[in-house]
Amino acid sequence: MTGVGLHPPVEPYAVHRVPVGDGHVLHVEEVGRPDGVPVVFLHGGPGGGLVPAARRFFDPARYRAVLFDQRGAGRSTPFGGLTANTTWHLVADLETIRQRLGIAAWMVFGGSWGATLGLAYAQAHPERVTGLVLRGVLLLRRSERDWFYQGGLRHLQPEEWDRFVAPIPPAERDDVLAAYHRRLHGPDEAEARACARAWGRWEAVNSSLRPDPRLLAHLTADGQALPIARILSHYARHGGFLAEGQLLDGVDRIRHLPAVIVNGRYDLCCPPVSAYDLARRWPEAELRIVPDAGHSAAEPGIAREVLRATDRVADLAG
């Protein structure tokens, strides 16, 4: 993530290690001012972890921003841990963090998988949410998983699709996600690592209009590729541990909350149809489709709209 249009770099004023049970300990940091507008940042992935630029979405003179690495991600331990790692464990972790920090309610900011988690959390605890900013909406419906993992995106990325399915025998390509899941979590370590590199490349090349070489290197690097791919496949294979259409069906629980939805017109990971479907069920939310952007929050149009949205939701919530 670059610094295009974001606030200046800032360091946390507090860093915490928060045990949440099941052997997981979360890395949590606070940025800005202790008496500022509370907001929690939910990173993508799952398993993506924090990057320092994420702190720069929030004006440090105004916000008390809480950022954390989710179970198995980043500096949380164990890295890549899948035990007791589901959407609902992460929702419970948010409540643990909120209570640990003494925050009555906070704004929720989530991008990509973070938008999924943000919706799940808000619908479970609407009284603890003051508003939402959602970027690159992912609802983890079957149609979205088929688009990304079963060939829908092949029509736009034919050469990359061929690279992605190359580790999977043709006889198993009727369910590419299941075939990858078996190999990534299987006993053959060499095969799992090779599949993880192919998986990481597919994720990286579709994460922005122009592939970011740094993201590509990160998602295919030894020591990173396999743990991240395992978490991603774990959640994707289980549909985010959500019933089909659950996040749309639960919108009535949060329609009273101010919200802005931002999506790139050419988002390959999270096509704007999901943001549009969400906005149709949530007419009070403001939908902003960025005409010249893909998926990445670092793209100038996305960064600009997200910063505007963050301040607008804070104003409305206050």
- Selected residue with higher pLDDT from 261 and 209: 261
What is the span of the domain harbouring residue 154? 142-240
Q: Quick check: is 267 catalytic?
A: yes
Question: Does residue 295 have an active-site annotation?
Answer: yes
**Could you say which of 27, 125, 234, 295 is catalytic?**
295
Predicted confidence (pLDDT) per residue in 167-194, tens digit:
999 999 999 999 999 999 999 999 999 9
Task: Examine residue 293 and state whether it is found in any structural domain, yes or no.
Answer: yes
pLDDT 10s digits, 17-46: 999 999 999 999 999 999 999 999 999 999
Compute the distance between CA of residue 109 and CA of residue 310 in angstroms, rounded to an integer: 8
Domain boundary among 240, 264, 287: 240
Together in a domain, 30 and 127: yes
Catalytic residue among 112, 208, 233, 296: 112
Residue at 4 is within a domain:
no
Domain count, the chain: 2
| 155 within some domain | yes
Same domain, 20 and 84: yes
Domain membership of residue 110 (yes or no) is yes
Q: Which of 200, 220, 240 is the last residue of a domain?
A: 240
Q: Is residue 5 part of a domain?
A: no
d(CA 178, CA 31): 40
What's the mean pLDDT in 117-134?
98
Section 291-312 average pLDDT = 94
In terms of domains, do 131 and 256 share one? Answer: yes
Burial class (CB in 10 A: 0-12, 13-18, 19+), 105: middle
Q: Is residue 2 part of a domain?
A: no
Predicted pLDDT of residue 5: 75
Beta partners for residue 77, in sequence order: 25
Q: Which of 211, 240, 269 is the last residue of a domain?
A: 240
Pick the catalytic residue: 69, 93, 212, 267? 267
Q: What is the DSSP letter of 158?
A: H
Mapping DSSP onto H, E and C, the string for 57-110 reads: HCCCCCEEEEEECCCCCCCCECCCCCCCCCHHHHHHHHHHHHHHCCCCCEEEEE
Chain segment 76-99, per-residue pLDDT in tens: 999 999 999 999 999 999 999 999
Q: Is 188 known to be catalytic?
A: no
Can you give the CATH number for the domain in which 135 is found? 3.40.50.1820
- Specify whether 230 is located in the same domain as 250: no
Asked whether the bond before 126 is cis by omega within 30 degrees of 0, the reply is: no
Q: Which of 53, 79, 23 is nearest to 223 (CA)?
A: 79
pTM greater than the 0.85 cutoff = yes
pLDDT-derived band of residue 276, with 50, 70 and 90 as boundaries? very high
Q: pLDDT-based confidence at 141, cuts 50/70/90?
A: very high
9 is a domain residue: no
**1 located within any domain:** no
